[in-house]
Amino acid sequence: MEHFNSDLYLTTTQAAELLSVHASTVKRWCNDGELPFDKTEGGHRRIHLTDLLELSRDRDIPTFLRHFTPYEGHVWTAIRQAAEGGSFHRVHSLAMGWLDRAHMKRLTWLFYELGRHPGVSFERFVDEGIRGFLVMVGQAWRDGQLRIGEEHMMTEVLIEVLIRFRELGGPDGDSTGLSAEGDRPVAVIGSMEGLRHSIGALAVRVLLERRGWDVFFLGSDVPVEDFAAMQRSRGADLVCVSFSLPATGADMRRCVRILSEFYDSTQPYSLALGGDLGEVVVFDDDALPFSRIGTFGALGDLSEALSTGFVESDPLALKHG
Ligand code: B12
C-alpha cells in the first residue's frame, strides 16, 4: 500500500518516541480504539501523525511538535530526514521559508529541536545543520535576496540557540565524572585577530563544555598575543583559534609563529586551528613546540581527535593501555 510510504504515517515505535511513552501504551490505545490506525500488508500498525497529535492534545501529553502548529507535518518530516536519512535539505528549506516570512520564533524552535533530537549529534547539528543553513543565508545575502539586517537577525537566532545547548549539557553529561572546577581540563577559545565571524568559535566552546571542559571564551577579533597570555594565566591545556574567510593560510601561519614564540614549555598545551579557509594548511608537529598541533575543518574532526588523545586530559578520551 503505497500511501504508507508517506512520512506522515508512524510506526508504533516512532509514535511512542514522539509522545515519550512506552510502545506497549501506544499499542493499547490502538487496541482500545482510542487511537485510529491502519495496517500494512505485512500486518504492522501505522498511525497518522494528525491522529497522534490529536490524542496528545486530548491527553495533555506534550510533544516537541507543539511549537509548530500548523506546520507539525513539515517539521516532523524535516527532522526525521536529518536524524534518519542523513540529509538536512528539508530543514534548510523550511528554515529559509520561515526566514523569508520572518517567523523567527518558529525558526528558533526548529534549530533547538533539531539539536536536541537524539538522532542528531551536536557535531552534525553544527557542522551540517547550522553551517549548511548559514551558507545558504550568506548566498542569499550575496545575491541580494536578503538584507544585511536579516542576515544579522538570523545569526543572532543561532547564537541564542547555541548558548542554550551549554545549559542542556552533553549526551555524556555526567559520565565524565567531573564536577569540581579544579578537575576539569581548561581551554581558551576565540576567533583570530581581524575576524568578526564568531559562531564557529562559539560552537567549539559549547562542544568542549558539553565534554566536561572549563572554557575561557574570548569571542571574535582576538590579538594572537592575548591567546598566549590567557593560556598562561589560566594554565590552559588547549588553545583553539577559529579562522574563516576572508582570512588566509598566511594569517594561520602568523598565528602559529607568534604562539610558538610565546610558548612556555613549563606550561605545555595543544593548539587546535579550525575553520574554512578554502586552502589546506599543514603544520609539522615535530618542528613546533606545542604538545600537539592540528587543523580542523569541522567540529566532528576535533571531537574525533579528542577521543583519540589530542589532549590527554580530555574527559572522554579513550584511554589507551
Ligand atoms: C554570519 C556571517 C557574518 C556575520 C558574523 C557574525 C558573528 N557573530 O559571527 C558578520 C555580519 C559580522 C559577517 C561579517 C563579514 N562577512 Co560574513 N558571513 C557570515 C555567514 C553568513 C555565516 C558564517 C557562519 O557563522 N557560519 C557558521 C559557522 C558554524 O561556520 P564556520 O565559521 O565555517 O565554522 C565551522 C567550521 O569552519 C569549523 N570551525 C570554525 N572555526 C573552528 C575552530 C576550531 C578549533 C575547530 C575545530 C573548527 C572550527 O567548525 C564550524 C562548524 O562546522 C557566512 C556565509 C558562509 N558561506 O559561511 C558569511 C561569509 C563568511 N562572510 C563573508 C564576508 C565577505 C564578510 C565581510 C567581509 C563582509 C563585509 N564586507 O563586511 C565581513 C568580514 C569581516 C571580518 N573581518 O571578519 C563571506 C566571505 C567570502 C570570502 N571569500 O571572503 C561569506 C562566505 C559570505 C559570502 N557568501 O560572501 N559575516
pTM of the predicted protein model:
0.93
- Contact yes or no for 214/181 (Cβ under 8 A): yes
pLDDT at residue number 7: 80
- Contact yes or no for 271/256 (Cβ under 8 A): yes
Alpha carbon of 103 to ligand 1 centroid (Å) = 23
pLDDT at residue number 1: 47
Could you list the pLDDT tens digit for every one of the 321 residues in the chain? 446 667 899 999 999 999 999 999 999 999 999 999 999 989 899 999 999 999 999 999 999 999 999 999 999 999 999 999 889 999 999 999 999 999 999 999 999 999 999 999 999 999 999 999 999 999 999 999 999 999 999 999 999 999 999 977 655 444 455 555 667 999 999 999 999 999 999 999 999 999 999 999 999 999 999 999 999 999 999 999 999 989 999 999 999 999 999 999 999 999 999 998 888 898 988 899 999 999 999 999 999 999 999 999 999 887 654
pLDDT at residue number 268: 96
The CA distance from 311 to 234, in Å, is: 16
The CA distance from 163 to 287, in Å, is: 37
Strand runs (DSSP E) across the chain, as ranges? 9-10, 38-39, 45-48, 186-191, 214-217, 238-244, 270-276, 293-296
Q: Cα angle vertex 255, ends 306, 250, to 5°?
A: 110
Please state the atom number of ligand 1 nearest to the C-alpha of residue 247: 84
The CA distance from 219 to 314, in Å, is: 22
pLDDT at residue number 224: 98
* DSSP class per residue in 119-167: TS-HHHIIIIIIHHHHHHHHHHHHTTSS-HHHHHHHHHHHHHHHHHHHH
Alpha carbon of 244 to ligand 1 centroid (Å) = 6
Q: Name residues contacting ligand 1 (CB within 6 A).
A: 126-127, 130-131, 134-135, 137-139, 142, 151-152, 155, 194-201, 203-204, 240, 242, 244-246, 272, 274-276, 296, 298-299, 302
Instruction: For cell 580530555, name the residue.
Output: 314
Q: What HEC string does 173-210 produce?
A: HHHHCCCCHHHCCEEEEEEECCCCCCHHHHHHHHHHHH
Q: How far is CA 262 from the centre of its chain?
A: 33
- Contact yes or no for 236/268 (Cβ under 8 A): no
The CA distance from 176 to 308, in Å, is: 16
Alpha carbon of 208 to ligand 1 centroid (Å) = 21
The CA distance from 239 to 188, in Å, is: 5
Nearest CA to ligand 1 atom 72: 196
pLDDT at residue number 182: 66
The CA distance from 31 to 73, in Å, is: 25
296: β partners: 274
Q: How far is CA 166 from the centre of its chain?
A: 11
pLDDT at residue number 6: 74
pLDDT at residue number 175: 45
Alpha carbon of 167 to ligand 1 centroid (Å) = 25
Please state the atom number of ligand 1 nearest to the C-alpha of residue 245: 84
Using the CB atoms, write b or e for 22-48: b if 16+ within 10 Å: eeeebbebbeeeebebeeeeeeebbbb
Phi-psi map region of 119: left, alpha, beta (phi>0 left; psi -120 to 50 alpha):
alpha
The CA distance from 149 to 141, in Å, is: 10
Alpha carbon of 245 to ligand 1 centroid (Å) = 6
- Contact yes or no for 191/242 (Cβ under 8 A): yes
Choose which residue among 152, 197, 245, 270 to substitute to test ligand 1 binding: the one with the highest number of ligand atoms within 8 A of its C-beta: 197
Alpha carbon of 154 to ligand 1 centroid (Å) = 13
Alpha carbon of 302 to ligand 1 centroid (Å) = 19
